[in-house]
Amino acid sequence: MSTLSRTGTVTTDRAKPRRLPGVDGVWVAIGADSVIFAILFGSFMQARLHNPAVFEASRHTLNINLGGIDTLILLTSSWSVALGIQALKRDLVDRAPRYLLGGVLTGLMFMVSKSIEYFEKYTAGIAPATNDFYMWYFTLTGIHLLHVVFGTSLLAYLWIRSRRRAYSSLQRVVPECVASYWHLVDLLWIMIFPLLYLQKAA
Amino acid sequence: MSVLRERVTMVWLGLIVATCVTTWGLSKALFSPAVAVIGIFTIAAVKVSYVMLDFMELRCAPIPVRVAFQAWPVAVAAMILGFWFATPAVG
């Protein structure tokens, strides 16, 4: 798309200055968190390398349907929050709260789903100490769940503030920081789910 | 602002379809483990890439930052697949 400016020069979307949403510090934190999770994924694969039979047998006890539904929930949550940011950019400040509320509710849904899954494991007598696979399962999903709880709390804060019209196209740094973090939570789960639930043994 | 016309909505729909394909398609016994695992992690890397580009808005980020973040799903998927092929077969 191109536009004609008052001076008569044509500017295109490509000419728009490139920018990171929010503040740079959040992106440093997101990058650091991503690297930490990559190291955890590598450590999981190394542990699996030494005991593939136990990992495969244990993997079969996980609820793939719940894991898949969790992924759909987080993708929908990210989408809703992304729509909230788009609404703020266009100064549709009345619409932003409903999208942010969508993010909060889907975050809560993920927590409920994970609680059901943990309860299933607990009633089956499965704990982190059962074997290496379950230690990794509870560690990776547990750390991720903490990210979800933190992110949902931040989204709830944004929702409350946005209902008071605290944010707009000119005041959207905080919503952009929270949204970027929330999308990180989504993309981490996109990798954790196949790593733990779908990775068949050779 | 029509939600249906938003690019993020198209991306979300694609991600939902890809998730259904991997969760309830590729994970079934129809495919050999190697084909299934390569397919599942390739799709996961592509999904992460789209989340970064369109939800996190890295499409409009400075090029070095975009390249650095886009390397993450590629490196992670390659590492997982590398370990997978190095792991002895079960049974």
Interface ipTM: 0.96
Q: Which pTM was predicted? A: 0.92
Instruction: Supply the pLDDT for residue A71.
Output: 98
Mutate to test the interface with A, among B16, B28, B59, B80 (most CBs of A within 10 A): B80
- What percentage of chain A reaches a pLDDT higher than 90? 90
Instruction: Answer whether A83's CB lies under 8 Å from B6's CB.
Output: yes
Q: How confident is the model at residue A8 (pLDDT cuts 50, 70, 90)?
A: very low
CB spacing of A71 vs B23 below 8 angstroms: yes
Rg over alpha carbons for chain B, rounded to the nearest Å, is 16
CB-neighbour burial class of residue A83 (10 A; exposed 0-12, middle 13-18, buried 19+): buried
Measured distance CA(A67)–CA(B23) in Å, rounded: 8
The mean predicted confidence, pLDDT, of chain A is 93
Handedness of CA A75, B72, A132, A53 (dihedral sign): positive
Whole-angstrom Cα distance, residue A155 to residue A104? 6
Chain B positions in Cβ-Cβ contact with residue A82 (cut-off 8 Å):
8, 54-55
- Report the pLDDT averaged over residues A131-156: 98
Are A37 and B79 in contact by the 8 Å Cβ rule? The answer is no
Q: Which residue of B has its CA nearest to A39?
A: B76
Q: How far is B36 from chain A (nearest CA, A)?
A: 8
- Using CA atoms, how far residue A84 sits from A81, A89, A90, B26, in Å, is 5, 9, 10, 33
Q: Is residue B3 over pLDDT 90? A: no
CB contact under 8 A, A200 and B72: no
B positions 17-46 inside 8 Å of A (CB): 19-20, 22-24, 26-27, 33-34, 36-37, 40-41, 44
Q: Are B17 and B23 in contact (CB under 8 A)?
A: no
- pLDDT for A11 equals 45
**Residue B62 confidence class, pLDDT cut points 50, 70, 90:** very high
Q: Is residue A58 pLDDT above 60, yes or no?
A: yes
Q: Position of tokens 């190394």?
A: A46
Mean pLDDT of the A77-99 span: 96
Q: Would you state the pLDDT for residue B4? A: 86
Q: Residue A197: list chain B partners with CB under 8 A.
A: 27
Residue B16 or residue A18, greater confidence: B16
Per-residue confidence (pLDDT) for residue B5, from 0 to 100: 85
Residue A118 has pLDDT above 70, yes or no: yes
Q: Residue type for B14, please?
A: G
Contact list in A for residue B19 (CB cut-off 8 A) is 68, 71-72, 75
Q: Which of A192, A187, A189, A180 is nearest to A155 (CA)?
A: A180
Burial class (CB in 10 A: 0-12, 13-18, 19+), A69: middle
Distance from CA of B5 to the nearest CA of A (A): 11
What single-letter DSSP state applies at residue A169? S
Q: Do A194 and B72 count as a contact with CB atoms less than 8 A apart?
A: no
